[in-house]
Amino acid sequence: MSSFQALMVTNENQFQRTYKSLTNNDLPDGDVTIQIAYSGVNFKDALASIEKGGVIRNYPMTPGIDASGTVIDSQHPNFQVGDEVIVTSYGFGVTHPGGYSEIQRIPAEWIVPLPAGLSLKAAMVLGTAGFTAALAVAAIEEAGLTTDSRIVITGASGGVGSMALAMLHKLGYQNLTAVTRKSSAHSWLTALGAAEIVTPEALIPEKLKALAKQEYDFAIDTVGGKLAEALIPSLQYGGSMALCGNASGIQLQTTVLPFILRGVNLLGIDSVNTPMNKRKAIWHRLATDLNVTENLKVNEVGFNELPIVFDSLLTGTHEGRSIVKIGGK
Ligand SMILES: NC(=O)c1ccc[n+]([C@@H]2O[C@H](COP(=O)([O-])OP(=O)(O)OC[C@H]3O[C@@H](n4cnc5c(N)ncnc54)[C@H](OP(=O)(O)O)[C@@H]3O)[C@@H](O)[C@H]2O)c1
């Protein structure tokens, strides 16, 4: 029986992260087996790769919340050998072995057929980060986005933030403010469409007011904590914040005033359990009007270079989107 490589995290007596040689007998339950071409590297994957990262619930586990690849065996009528597919979300790379493996077996109901217009590589350039950015863009569209809207995007040098910025620019929105701590990111964020770039410090006041000057119509927040706390009181009457992330922590202290006096809305964004109909519709948009793969800052690494990317994500020095070539051509 032929063997294949997978990254494993184990936690027997002590936490370990190692590349292991596995065989088909080691594959988990599921009805579709795929040969993985590419995976992505998300903040959540970096957390999954460390002890007490809070992502992995049962060990041993293969992390990797994103994968694209080709079906090599199927026990399900919806998928045939040779089909190109995307797998993200649900328990993938969290409770069920994930994308950092040359071969993986998955439940059919987690699989999205690769939409026309995307390659296996482009699908992973987008990955969970692009999918989440697209959910956030769709949420603020539904909340009343107009061509004049002033939109602020936090964590702009990150995967979700940079893609949300690029998508809004591609759709024709111009009043885009990118919030970043990194001066090194200014030139490429401007190229992605940022009309203005500010630091988190410029937005976070010494003393937070319950209501502040109404600076923005919409916000896409990937950072949480003090930055989100500063932005909520700065939203225009009727404005909305799509709340996607917790890069600076899970706390959010605010008052009811922006909500009851200005009709402000908080829009929760969850990529993990998005129902399949909406998931397919968002992937269709990612292949068409929200396809920003040409414009992004992409860092492609080899399978054995994953730990370097984990470190840069965990230390906050990572920029843009990283993908990992597992077996892709
Ligand atoms: N809701 C969902 O379903 C979903 C899906 C995917 C991701 N997420 C979450 O969304 C967030 C972003 O994910 P990602 O993959 O884009 O991560 P990422 O690539 O690491 O980007 C996060 C960005 O946030 C900023 N940041 C990090 N630490 C910060 C701090 N302490 N204070 C202020 N800013 C900080 C940095 O941008 P600057 O240096 O430019 O400021 C960083 O590039 C994460 O919290 C992730 O868990 C949620």
Strand 103-106 vs strand 111-113: parallel, antiparallel, or unpaired? unpaired
At 249, the pLDDT band (50, 70, 90 cuts) reads confident
Q: Which atom of ligand 1 is nearest to the CA of 249?
A: 31
In this structure, are 173 and 222 located in the same domain? yes
Q: Would you say residue 67 has pLDDT above 80?
A: yes
Share of the chain above pLDDT 70, in %: 99
Among 160, 190, 221, residue to substitute to test ligand 1 (most atoms within 8 Å of Cβ) = 160
Q: What is the pLDDT of residue 320?
A: 85
Residue 284 lies in a domain: no
| CA–CA dist 31, 81 (Å, integer) | 12
Q: What is the pLDDT of residue 260?
A: 98
Neighbours of 11 (CB within 10 A): 14
Please give the Cα distance from 327 to 103 (Å, whole number). Answer: 9
Residue 319 has a pLDDT of 87
Residue with tokens 């970096």: 46
Q: Which of 154, 223, 231 to mutate to test the pocket of ligand 1 (most atoms within 8 A of CB)?
A: 223
Task: Between 135 and 318, name the one with better pLDDT.
Answer: 135
Look at residue 328 in the predicted model and tell me its pLDDT.
56
User: Does residue 27 fall inside a structural domain?
Assistant: yes
pLDDT score, position 316: 85
Q: Return the pLDDT at 329.
A: 56
Q: Do 308 and 199 reside in the same domain of the chain?
A: no
* Mean predicted confidence (pLDDT) in 123-148: 97
CATH number at residue 192: 3.40.50.720
Per cent of the chain over pLDDT 90 is 94
Residue 157 vs residues 12, 182, 186: alpha-carbon distances, Å: 36, 8, 9
The answer to whether 178 and 165 have CB atoms below 8 angstroms apart is yes
Average pLDDT over residues 297-326: 93
Residues 70 and 198 in one domain: no
Q: Are residues 176 and 99 in the same domain?
A: no
Q: Which residues contact 14 (CB under 8 A, 6 or more apart)?
A: none
**Residue 206 within a domain:** yes
Cβ of 127 closer than 6 Å to ligand 1, yes or no, is: no
Q: Is this prediction's pTM over 0.85? A: yes
21 and 110 in a single domain? The answer is yes
- Measured CA to CA, the distance from residue 156 to residue 227 in angstroms comes to 12
Q: Is the pLDDT of residue 296 over 70?
A: yes
Say if residue 77 is in the same domain as residue 51.
yes
Q: How many domains does the chain have?
A: 2
Q: Is residue 204 part of a domain?
A: yes
- How far is residue 202's CA from residue 226's CA, in Å, rounded to a whole number? 12
Task: Specify if 275 maps to a domain.
Answer: no
Mean per-residue pLDDT, 163-192: 97
Domain that holds residue 308: 4-114+297-325
Report helix, strand or coil for 99: coil
Same domain for 165 and 38: no
Indicate whether residue 48 lines ligand 1 (CB < 6 A).
Answer: no
Distances (CA, A) of 46 to 35, 93, 179, 243, 294: 23, 11, 22, 21, 25
* CATH code at position 69: 3.90.180.10
pLDDT at 178 exceeding the cut of 60: yes
Asked whether the predicted pLDDT for residue 13 surpasses 70, the reply is yes
Which pLDDT score is estimated for 138?
Answer: 98
